[in-house]
Amino acid sequence: MWGAVIFLVALLIVRISHWWYTWSNPKNHGKLPTGSMGLPIIGETLDFFSSNSLFDIPPFFTKRMQRYGPVFRTNIVGKNIIASTDPEINYDIFQQENRSFLILYTESFMKILGRECMLVHHGNFHKYLKNLILRLVSPENLKATLLPGMDEATRKHLDSWASFGNIEVKEGSSKMIFEYFAKILIGYDEEMAPKGKLRDNFQAFMDGLISFPLNIPGTAYHACLQGRKNACEVIKDTFEKRKASKTPYKDFLDQLLKEVEREDTFLNEQIAINLIFVLLFASHETTSAASTLAIKFIADHPDVLEELTKEHEAILKARDNDESGLTWQEYKSMTFTHMVINETVRLANIVPGILRKVVKDVEMKGYTIPAGWMVMVVPAAVHLSTDKYENPLQFNPWRWEGQELHAGSKTFMAFGGGIRLCVGADFAKLQLAILIHHMVTKYRWSVTKGGNIVRKPGLMFPDGLHIEISEKQKC
């Protein structure tokens, strides 16, 4: 009797040990990077999602870089991943897009974004959707159409901030950008909307976007999925009403309706609705986070504020009409402002990692990256590298002096890289420049509370950034 029990226990131990060994040492045709796969099934997910309050490289990556080097293997939310903090490898990954590597997200992230999301499409379909979006946010359309409206909306909201005397910047900038972009996308007026506003649902979505994927009531992930569902219902309702009315609004939705009706189109209603959802999410959330950091950094560095004020006061003095709005030529002349923007997004590292699926075995620097795995490019490890940037944790816009300010590189990938370079990068930079222009020429402000960050692993402001703001007195 006891002999049978001991035999069964021993057999169970052998099976578990073999399972654990197989999990920890996945098969490969070549040489895998060193690393740890963590616990079976769970992997290193919990460690990846643990929070920190650093501008530095997240501890999850720092610990593994110190132990395994710039390229290592891991497992997060059930996916075998090669994480790369090597600029050369990262650049090669982006250059081999649609050949050796394809855009891909974890199953949990796919549920959040939707399977019709433009981010997951490849080849001609992705190119088609990208060109469709560029009709809205290309530099040409920003210059010809959107700039005056962005300028007006920014002035309106900043006047409102000053009339209250104080504002939480992340909330205020998020509201400003969302209201403007929702209007040019689908003619949606947040102030006129009934209860259950579109932006409220996006906030629930954002709160759980990068969270542990446990879909039960009460979790951030569940609230995120519900927020997405509710937001898409509002967008769908707007879509259906517009389609029935036939009234032209001259916004992006009009263009999507025409595309859906074409016989040779890639687009259907579900893809169009999801496209609007993703554009609303991407446009306001990341830009408002960058705006919040920019205002904090400028307030914390009087020398930067002084240089910005000098640049923007010169723009005002060169105008024939004091009341005229910002022009494209003025925007392009803001050299130091663009240095501030680049330095802000370098330190912000809003995206913790950029994922690609490996479609065939790839040899890189002596390692074999196996087909079926994922690679994670880690921008923060490059942006905060002492080999690439002197005193990388210091906010120093002057480090960009004499450098290319409007393109990505092996050492600057705040807007991604390759053919997946962020299609909305020019929109975000223009919005930041307009905000800075009006803040430094028309207002005085100081931080009264908050400004701390938490990465979970995405960038959050747990206490917000509260400022006291007032209009400058005219001389």
The predicted-structure confidence for 418-452, as pLDDT tens digits, reads as follows 666 778 889 999 999 999 999 999 999 999 999 89
Residue 183 CA to residue 252 CA, distance in Å, equals 9
Are 196 and 226 in contact by the 8 Å Cβ rule? The answer is no
How many CB atoms are located within 10 Å of the residue 368 CB? 18
Beta strand 79-84 with 101-103 is unpaired
Residues 6+ apart with CB under 8 A from 161: 167, 172, 443, 469
**φ and ψ at 320, to 5 degrees?**
-80, -30
Task: Provide the annotated binding site.
Answer: 422
Amino acid at 378: V
Closest CA to 135 of 338, 416, 429, 427: 427
- Angle between the 269-300 and 220-245 helix axes, to the nearest 10 degrees? 120
Residue 62 CA to residue 29 CA, distance in Å, equals 28
Beta strand 443-450 with 71-76 is unpaired
The predicted-structure confidence for 42-92, as pLDDT tens digits, reads as follows 889 889 888 888 888 899 999 999 999 999 999 988 889 999 999 889 888
Domains of the chain: 46-471 (1.10.630.10)
Are 398 and 374 in contact by the 8 Å Cβ rule? The answer is no
Residue 416 CA to residue 94 CA, distance in Å, equals 9
Residue 473 CA to residue 460 CA, distance in Å, equals 34
Residue 272 CA to residue 242 CA, distance in Å, equals 13
The predicted-structure confidence for 339-353, as pLDDT tens digits, reads as follows 999 999 999 988 888
The predicted-structure confidence for 78-123, as pLDDT tens digits, reads as follows 889 999 999 889 888 888 877 888 776 666 666 666 655 555 556 6
pTM more than 0.85: yes
Read off the DSSP letter of residue 398.
G
Closest CA to 135 of 291, 279, 309: 279
- Considering the chain, what is the average pLDDT of its residues? 84
Residue 339 CA to residue 412 CA, distance in Å, equals 13
Read off the DSSP letter of residue 403.
S
Q: Using DSSP, state whether 469 is helix, strand or coil.
A: strand
Task: Provide the annotated binding site for heme.
Answer: 422
Q: Using DSSP, state whether 262 is helix, strand or coil.
A: coil
Closest CA to 295 of 76, 69, 469: 469
Per-residue pLDDT of the chain (475 residues; tens, 9 = 90+): 566 666 566 656 656 554 555 656 677 777 899 998 888 888 898 898 888 888 888 999 999 999 999 999 999 888 899 999 998 898 888 888 778 887 766 666 666 666 555 555 566 776 777 888 888 889 999 999 999 999 999 999 999 999 999 999 999 999 999 899 989 998 888 666 655 577 777 776 666 666 666 677 777 778 777 878 888 888 888 888 888 887 888 888 888 888 888 877 778 888 888 888 888 877 777 899 999 999 999 999 999 999 999 999 999 999 988 778 899 999 999 999 999 999 999 999 888 888 888 888 889 888 888 888 999 999 999 999 998 899 999 999 999 998 887 777 888 888 876 666 778 889 999 999 999 999 999 999 999 999 898 887 778 888 999 999 999 887 5
Closest CA to 303 of 273, 343, 354, 331: 343
How many CB atoms are located within 10 Å of the residue 195 CB? 5
